[in-house]
Amino acid sequence: MGTPQGDHLGPYRLLSRLGAGGFGEVHLALDPEGRTVAVKVLHPHVAADTRALARLAREVEAMRRVRGRHIAEVLDASLDGRSPYLVTRYIQGRPLNAVVAVEGPVHGEELVRLARGLSEALMAIHESGVIHRDLKPSNVILADGEPVVIDFGIAAVVDSASVTASGAVLGTPGYLAPEVLEGQETRTEGDIFAFAATLAFAATGREPYGTGSVAAIGYRVVHHEPDLEGVPDWLAAVLRDCLAPDPAARPTAGEIHGRLPGVVGAAGPPPPKPRSDTFSRARIPVAPPAPAAGPAYAEPPPARSKADPLPPPVSGSGGDVHSLSTREWRPGQPDPRPPAEVAMRRRRARVRLIWIIGTGVVAALGAAAARSALPEVSLLLLAAYGSGVAIDAAVGLFARKDVGRALLSAGSGVGAVALFFLLSSIFSTFTLALAFATVIVVLVVLVVAG
């Protein structure tokens, strides 16, 4: 398959690696318009399976039509290159399993909000003709208290025999329905089972079918009742129906949503409205898809004026990275912070400027101090610094196409030579040697302190 070239993959600039799963590696990226997206690059054993890619390609067009405030929409796809990938809306938040691990089980209105949000997500997915196939706590992101489902539909590739043989994960034990474990095809009823298992975990903090080996958990799923102790009564009845061994006995996502209580005093954001954007293409080399409207983002909340301060982050109860809360930027919202790549570029430029000027001053001072007693050392210092800035200028001019960098490097070299002659003509050798020794001592102290 090959890896993405440099820090780009197609039109997307990769910023950082977010994680990896059974099907691919996820990167935080910027689209051509500077918006944050999540890019999932498929693993080599998946990309090498033409049958798997063909099946995924058939589902991508349906996946792109799935929209909702509780869905990380599929925005783009490229399945015909050396590095096949999918692009989805990036959700800033924490996975449900991480939230439960740090803060404990979900209770009260937060549990109601979670249940309603997941049921709405499944309604949107199933009404578009897509099956999630791998719903579990780690595929549910909590953003500002609302659940958002990620990675829906991509698990279609596991039905390819060669991908399965290559080691792709078929699913998570305890969240796969009994009929799936027995070899039947995954249908919407399997998502309902996974929905209930996910909510049971959220409400109790325990796996509904316990822990242990894959075989042991699978046996309990098929032959034992789930552990629902501690689940509120209003939810327990719904979960028992959803976890029924017979798929035909399970309710649909719409029926589940109708049985859940409402969220008190929280109307939630308005429903999403489709709008066209730059993601109207799908570079998929299978049968030409019928023209379809471009995917849409979930409708953003009203834009905040520049005078309004950002809301303060909510502190978590844990002491590690999972306890941190984040805010999601959505298209249409002003973001007072520069993009991550811009901030990093500015920081690199400042560090490089300080380094080039600082080393030039030290080299000129050392060369001036050694001019009388050790002329060879003086020449060596100037030559070493001059060679370094010349190489840096060449890299900036020819490799980076950065004329400003090249001019700065060349100017620093000329300035170091001029400073050498100026210091030599004004100060005595003893004074220059004392100054040079002082600078070296200060630098050593700074390095040790750092």
Answer yes or no: are the C-beta atoms of 163 and 53 closer than 8 Å: no
Cα 280 from Cα 289, distance rounded (Å): 12
Half-sphere exposure (Cβ direction) of 397: Cα atoms closer than 13 Å: 11
Task: Give 39's strand partners.
Answer: 27, 87
Give the CA count within 13 Å in the CB-facing half-sphere of 285: 9
CB 158 within 8 A of CB 131: no
Residue 266 CB partners (closer than 8 Å, separation 6+): 109, 113
CA distances from 412 to 190, 270, 358, 377, 416 (A): 66, 57, 10, 20, 6
Q: Give the pairing type, strands 24-30 and 12-20.
A: antiparallel
CA distance 32 to 40: 17
Catalytic pick from 31, 49, 134, 151? 134
Strands (E), 97-214: 140-143, 146-149
| Cβ burial, residue 350 (10 Å; 0-12/13-18/19+) | exposed
What values do phi and psi take at 280, rounded to 5? Answer: -95, 5
Residue 134 annotated to the active site = yes
Is 40 labelled a binding residue?
A: yes
Question: Would you tell me how many other CB atoms lie within 10 Å of the CB of residue 450?
Answer: 5
On whether the CB atoms of residues 174 and 222 are closer than 8 A, the answer is no
In whole angstroms, what is the distance from residue 392 CA to residue 404 CA?
12
Do residues 315 and 325 lie in contact, with contact meaning Cβ atoms separated by under 8 Å? yes
Displacement of CA 323 from its chain's centroid (Å): 17
Q: Is 448 exposed, middle or buried (0-12, 13-18, 19+ CB in 10 A)?
A: exposed
User: Side by side, which strands form the sheet with 85-89?
Assistant: 8-9, 12-20, 24-30, 36-42, 85-89, 74-78
Specify binding-site residues.
40
The residues that are catalytic are 134
Specify binding-site residues for ATP.
40
